[in-house]
Structure 1
Amino acid sequence: MNVPEEEQTAFEIGVVVPKRSANEENEDCDCVGVLVDEFRKAGLIVERVQGIADEFIKLAAPLETLGRAAAELQLRKRTHIGMDLQFEWEEVQAFVRQPDGSLFSWCERFHCYHHLIYGIVNKSQSTVTLKFEGNEYHWKAGENIVQKLESEDFVKQVFPLHDEVKRKNLLKSWALHWWNLTNQPIDEIYSYFGTKIAIYFAFLGMFTQWMLFPAAFAIALQLIDFGSLRLLVLPVFFIGIILWAVIFSQFWKRKNSALLARFGLTAFYILSIQHFTRVCGKISVKLIKRENNETTEKRADSLVYKVFGLYFMQSYIGIFYHALLHRNFLTLRQVLIQRLLVSQVFENLLENTLPYLKYSYKKYRVRDKKKREKGSSTRKIQFTTRVEKEYMKSSYSASIGEELEDGLFDDFLELALQFGMIMMFACAFPLAFAFAALNNITEIKTDALKLLTMFKRPVPRAATTIGAWLNIFQDLFIFQFLIVLSICTNCALLVWLYDQEGNWSIEPGLAAILVMEHILLLIKFGVSRFVPEEPAWVRASRVKNATQAQDMCSKQLLRTICVGKKVFGVVREGERGE
């Protein structure tokens, strides 16, 4: 067997346990000592770190340990012939490596770690008594030691650790690299965070790049005096925006297919709305728990659809009132400015400052507790271990709770609502595209810094795509609903705008806009015929891999038939000899 080159081993999992008092002597069957020994027996590399308030066990795994865990999990991986086959460590050379050259993705490695950590059981026939500072824990035969200690609140948390080398490289080449505002190292992001986060940043980057065109167009409308042609400017802008959205959506489909192929995969008013929608989100979570969904991924997708519908209705009901019923365009522009500027700025400040405030408060509580234990002390307590600092950071979780969805829920939701707002009311406030483009450029960098510095390393989700958000951004919402709705709302806005100003009579203006609406709808449904959803190389690769797999299976079948025929012939000859 040709073993692959040993990959660089880094500590990727942290286990938090209580810190022993200084005046306590070592005792037999020490709980932490037994736990460390069991981790080592499982093939893990272990390092114990003493923090200020707790002790931390850092875990790493050699490549062979991960490989054998993947084989035990019957993990299916892509092979060089294009088929997904069950992983075998002895046939490791047959499997395709990740874009960064590693054998396993972050999601695969995390599941291997989980299998190793939660696969440690008491193989003896008797109960083992574990001791720690006068407390006893009875580890029964066949019982998992980590689950046992978690149930006793001895193991406080098992969480992913940042890989310092990769984290610093991403900070330098991505989060703090301001020269390329929208270009991002997607392969490195995928290798470090997983598919869902990589797809999010790929969409955000492409969306922002494409938005520069309508943003420039909108700024030109604001700065240039078109004189007598100004009545034609808004329809031209509207037509251009619809064509832009249709073509962007189709090219995003192509890019998403290529990525999956490469991976193998007022302020008080706004605050009230945000609070109300979070409450609705929590109600949706409770409703989801009562549904009979087969898997966690399906429960999460069901949650996304329900909560997104609530957010969509709550966010746009006031805007639709001003746009379609009240017909007050000045008020409509003010509401859009308020929602785009105040709401998004407030959200960005909140999502970037709140984790830091929580982190600072946790550090303050630990320092205050230690000072009380030691008595009055003027010496400042310093946190020197990185693993303890990571432990006190917040998890990357959704505002409605982290049981079914991670922090991507809020990030995708923000993008979806933004897209709907700038598209459906484009004629009322063209400059919204410029504000959105500026916000998204900032969002790329702040989200990158947030993931790399303010949160624990996110736990990778099992889903191979972005789940329900893939339908919302690709198949269902943008294609089948939102662009069509944008055509209708903007046509209605143009009718009422020109009728109010008295420059067009309503009859010819309405007829012209209705004709334009039908043409745009035909264009919208016709573009998909000319721009395939998959790049040619993806289709060619899939056909080639299928052909190779069929040839291999055919050859193996023929070889098996030949061997069976020879064996059958030998048996027949033996029967004749007898």
Structure 2
Amino acid sequence: MASAFLRRKQPYLNSDLPSNGAPQLPPQPLERIGELSREEDEFDFAILLKPSNAPEHPQLNNAVVDHSHLRGKSKKDPTRARNLIIERIRHTGLHVKRLLSLNGKQTLLKVKAPQHVLEVGAERLRLRKLRKFDRIWMEFSRELHATFADFDEQLGGVRFIDSEKQSIVHALLTSAMADNGAGLNEFCPLKTKYPHRSNCHRFATGVLTQPIDDVAQYYGEKVAFYFAWTEMYTRWLLVPSIVGVVLFALQVSSKKIDHPLAPLYAVFMALWTSAFLIAWKRRASTLAYRWGTLGYEEDTEVTRPDFYGDPALSTPERKQYPAWRRYAKYAVTTPTVLASMALITMITYIAFAIRDRLECESLETKTHAKHVASAIGADLEHGLTLKNLKQLSSLGLDWTFWFYFLVAPLLYGLLIPVLDFAFTKWARAMTNWENHETESRYRSHLILKVFSFRFVHVFASLYYYAFAGSRGDNLLRVAIQLASFMVAGQLWKNVMETLYPLVLRRWHARQKKRDTNAQVSHSAVFNAMTLPMGGSRRRRSDALVMAGHRSTAAGGGGGASIEMNNTNAVIHEQCVRLEQASDKAWEEAELQTYDTFEDYTEMLIQFGYVSFFSLAFPLAPLLALVNNVVELRTDAFKLCHAKQRPIAHKASDIGVWFHVLQLMSVLAVLTNCLHVAFTTTLLERLFAWSLSSSVEAVTVTATTKVWVAFGAEHLLLALQVAMMLAIPAMPRDVQHKVRVEREQAKQESARAMAAKMLLLAATPARSDGDGDGDVDDA
């Protein structure tokens, strides 16, 4: 079961608590100077406990409430929350190290897992490891740990990579306390020193080749699949870019967007999307097998801390939530999302339709103004006199025209980000209300909601100008708008993702350094140390008392010695406190979290630009190719320097994003067929050729165009399905290895079953011969 896989009979450490529920932890001595720097690479996670805003409760606002949320409860005992959290973590078997800020108001907990906890967690997580003798992936077992390739004799156990250690520690921290977890959800993984630097260097120097395997080992398979997909997508853009440049050159030379070869390019792009998805599916299965995540299912996931069950159905071992209640919630959230999409579509259509109508009216008004000016003896080319203004005031250029023509598009541009932000928060609230059990299912439903809304408001204007506009230059308008989206939008995004966080981070670091220096310079120890040597001993003693240390020296013979000892103790304490406050984990904990959602959204919208509207702007694949080369570097920089290290999640593919891509490939086929039928003159040329007539003399009705478009769309979709059936989703070598693994798993299962039956058969005979037998108290 997903929620009970971490359950064990006895906790790793004694978890007996006082009756009042508040653990009384022994005071932890301050660490020696240099101890933190030596153990920096050993810790996996950091948990930042911030002070409360309430003046009557100044220490911590974090106390245990339910599964994951930590809020202030005890105002009389401000350290209760911190100690309770530490006891929770220690109860799971994890090691905790406490750091204090320079002013003592914030606490940072650094967490790591010892070797025996890693092995127990790996076994319960059913992590797969390569076996030594046959290089086959098998589920980890502590009894057979010497048979795995990563077994280290000096360590006395299996050596786990960074992402595996993170998965185990993350499972222990997020599991509910009933499952012997800590029930927390606010923490950040720490960046290990040497792998982090190596990965960042290779990220920065590569162009289209990335250390995908190292990314999977360090950041987890979920992040690695994003970079692998982006890299492959960028490589596949090379051929459409070359073909698009050739078509663009032909369009420029002929001075017509409607070139005779444009329909062939549209069909090529429709088939290209299908071929790319098939190739990616094979690539994903190869990578998943290489990383040991092929066939990874969400049954192996930990239950989300925010998941709650129905008390009438739940048991202490597993939370249960009735399916009918969740489907009832789907019946509310799904129409809400569809209504939001319909609303943004209606707003887009009304805004651009009004602008087009006013633009047509302005052209008619300008033409009429020229006739009026000619009649009154004035020329618009050289200006008008005051005497003629009264005659021209009846041309209809009132304030409503300028409002709709200039202000309305501006308001539309400002309204879209506001609606996007509001809908994203609303979608998160709706997804939380749906109460999903696992993190992958929660993210899938959130992605479908948010991406559907963004897809509509991004592509609504392009579809309007391509098929619903009333002017004859719709294809040119689509090309101009698409070019502006792909150039200006991508540049702005890269600046906001890299330069802005870097400048903000350096500003915060400088501000923190200034505050630290101010606190040190105003501390009592600093003042005591900087007093003149000839100064009064009484003054130095008073300064030490201000630091919180007793001084028995009031100015006698032995008092100088005691005072010096106290001074050394205070200096040592302050130096340790300064070292704790300057630990790099503080800076990492304050960084923003990294999520692949925004990066996937950007890439899939760009994929839509390329696959839907390359007919109107054949340079779209080339711009996407150039942008993605830069995007790979900026994403790597952001991941290494501007964001927290993401939590390593297991994955066997890009998840729900692949289903979105499949839907977009179908939509690409339909869109390109509609392009050929409605925005090009291919049908007119074909009918003119068959009738031996001129193109201008042939008129094709809209009904005929619709039938032709849908006929071509069904033909291309049938070809797409045939390609998917003819090309297997898994390469032959991977299929063979998976088949061997399954056979060996069946054989081992049969051996285990036979051994169990033999043991059961031998038990009665041993009991008869030995009487009562011996009882194992283990």
Q: TM-score, normalised by structure 1?
A: 0.74
> Is structure 2 residue 377 aligned with structure 1 residue 321?
no
Structure 1 letter corresponding to 2:624: A
Worse overlay, 272-281 or 106-115: 106-115
Worse overlay, 59-68 or 433-442: 59-68
Structure 1 letter corresponding to 2:590: M
C-alpha distance 316-363 of structure 1, shift in aligned 2 (>3 A): same
- Deviation (angstroms), 1:47: 6.3
- Deviation (angstroms), 1:505: 3.9
SS of the residue corresponding to residue 205 of structure 2 reads coil
8 Å Cα contact 1:277/1:311 also seen in 2: yes
1:5 equivalent in structure 2? none
Return the alpha-carbon distance in structure 2 between the equivalents of residues 302 and 495 of structure 1.
38
- Deviation (angstroms), 1:93: 2.9
C-alpha distance 506-456 of structure 1, shift in aligned 2 (>3 A): same
Return the alpha-carbon distance in structure 2 between the equivalents of residues 374 and 554 of structure 1.
68
Return the alpha-carbon distance in structure 2 between the equivalents of residues 47 and 11 of structure 1.
9
> Is structure 2 residue 554 aligned with structure 1 residue 391?
no
* Selected match of 2:618 from 430, 440, 454: 430
Return the alpha-carbon distance in structure 2 between the equivalents of residues 270 and 182 of structure 1.
35
Return the alpha-carbon distance in structure 2 between the equivalents of residues 418 and 307 of structure 1.
16
1:112 equivalent in structure 2? 168
> Is structure 2 residue 643 aligned with structure 1 residue 455?
yes
Return the alpha-carbon distance in structure 2 between the equivalents of residues 267 and 197 of structure 1.
37
2:238 equivalent in structure 1? 212
Structure 1 letter corresponding to 2:160: F
> Is structure 2 residue 218 aligned with structure 1 residue 192?
yes
Q: TM-score, normalised by structure 2?
A: 0.56
Q: For 1:39-91, what per-residue CA distance to the aligned partner results, in whole angstroms no more than 9, with x for missing partners?
A: 899876776667656565544444344224445xx221225486764x54343
1:78 equivalent in structure 2? 128
Return the alpha-carbon distance in structure 2 between the equivalents of residues 145 and 305 of structure 1.
31
- Give aligned-pair identity as a percent: 24
C-alpha distance 426-282 of structure 1, shift in aligned 2 (>3 A): same
8 Å Cα contact 2:673/2:712 also seen in 1: no
Please show how residues 346-495 of structure 1 align to structure 2 within 5 Å: 346-363=492-509, 366-367=512-513, 369-370=515-516, 385-396=583-594, 407-461=595-649, 465-473=653-661, 476-479=662-665, 481-495=666-680
SS of the residue corresponding to residue 532 of structure 1 reads coil
Structure 2 letter corresponding to 1:197: V
- Deviation (angstroms), 1:561: 4.8
> Is structure 2 residue 730 aligned with structure 1 residue 534?
yes
8 Å Cα contact 2:150/2:159 also seen in 1: yes
SS of the residue corresponding to residue 232 of structure 1 reads coil
Number of residue equivalences: 506
Return the alpha-carbon distance in structure 1 between the equivalents of residues 282 and 697 of structure 2.
42
- Deviation (angstroms), 1:521: 3.1
Return the alpha-carbon distance in structure 1 between the equivalents of residues 436 and 96 of structure 2.
39
Return the alpha-carbon distance in structure 2 between the equivalents of residues 228 and 452 of structure 1.
47
> Is structure 2 residue 286 aligned with structure 1 residue 258?
yes
8 Å Cα contact 2:166/2:648 also seen in 1: yes
Q: For 1:295-345, what per-residue CA distance to the aligned partner results, in whole angstroms no more than 9, with x for missing partners?
A: 343222111111111111111111111000115222211111121112222
8 Å Cα contact 1:42/1:120 also seen in 2: no
Unaligned stretches of 5+ residues in structure 2:
1-39, 52-77, 152-156, 294-408, 524-577, 686-693, 771-778
Q: For 1:117-174, what per-residue CA distance to the aligned partner results, in whole angstroms no more than 9, with x for missing partners?
A: 68999xxxxxxxxxxxxxxxxxxxx9x9988xx9xxxxx9742111110111111222
- Deviation (angstroms), 1:442: 0.7
SS of the residue corresponding to residue 283 of structure 2 reads helix
1:164 equivalent in structure 2? 193
- Deviation (angstroms), 1:190: 0.7
SS of the residue corresponding to residue 458 of structure 2 reads helix
Please show how residues 283-322 of structure 1 align to structure 2 within 5 Å: 283-322=426-465
Q: For 1:371-406, what per-residue CA distance to the aligned partner results, in whole angstroms no more than 9, with x for missing partners?
A: 7757899xxx9995432332332222xxxxxxxxxx
Structure 2 letter corresponding to 1:112: I
8 Å Cα contact 2:128/2:138 also seen in 1: yes
- Deviation (angstroms), 1:103: 4.2
Return the alpha-carbon distance in structure 2 between the equivalents of residues 217 and 57 of structure 1.
56
1:67 equivalent in structure 2? 119
Return the alpha-carbon distance in structure 1 between the equivalents of residues 267 and 90 of structure 2.
65
Return the alpha-carbon distance in structure 2 between the equivalents of residues 41 and 349 of structure 1.
45
Q: Which has the larger radius of gyration?
A: 2
Return the alpha-carbon distance in structure 2 between the equivalents of residues 62 and 75 of structure 1.
16
2:417 equivalent in structure 1? 274
CA root-mean-square deviation: 4.5
Q: For 1:438-483, what per-residue CA distance to the aligned partner results, in whole angstroms no more than 9, with x for missing partners?
A: 111111010001001111111234666543223223xx4244x333
* Selected match of 1:14 from 46, 51, 55: 46
- Deviation (angstroms), 1:515: 6.7
Return the alpha-carbon distance in structure 2 between the equivalents of residues 573 and 385 of structure 1.
65
8 Å Cα contact 1:160/1:457 also seen in 2: yes
Worse overlay, 456-465 or 495-504: 495-504
C-alpha distance 361-572 of structure 1, shift in aligned 2 (>3 A): closer
Unaligned stretches of 5+ residues in structure 1:
1-7, 20-28, 122-141, 151-155, 397-406
- Deviation (angstroms), 1:552: 2.4
Return the alpha-carbon distance in structure 2 between the equivalents of residues 300 and 118 of structure 1.
16
Return the alpha-carbon distance in structure 1 between the equivalents of residues 86 and 446 of structure 2.
39
Return the alpha-carbon distance in structure 2 between the equivalents of residues 91 and 110 of structure 1.
22
Please show how residues 125-164 of structure 1 align to structure 2 within 5 Å: 158-164=187-193
- Deviation (angstroms), 1:254: 0.8
SS of the residue corresponding to residue 14 of structure 1 reads strand
> Is structure 2 residue 371 aligned with structure 1 residue 343?
no
Worse overlay, 213-222 or 445-454: 213-222
- Deviation (angstroms), 1:528: 1.1
Worse overlay, 412-421 or 366-375: 366-375
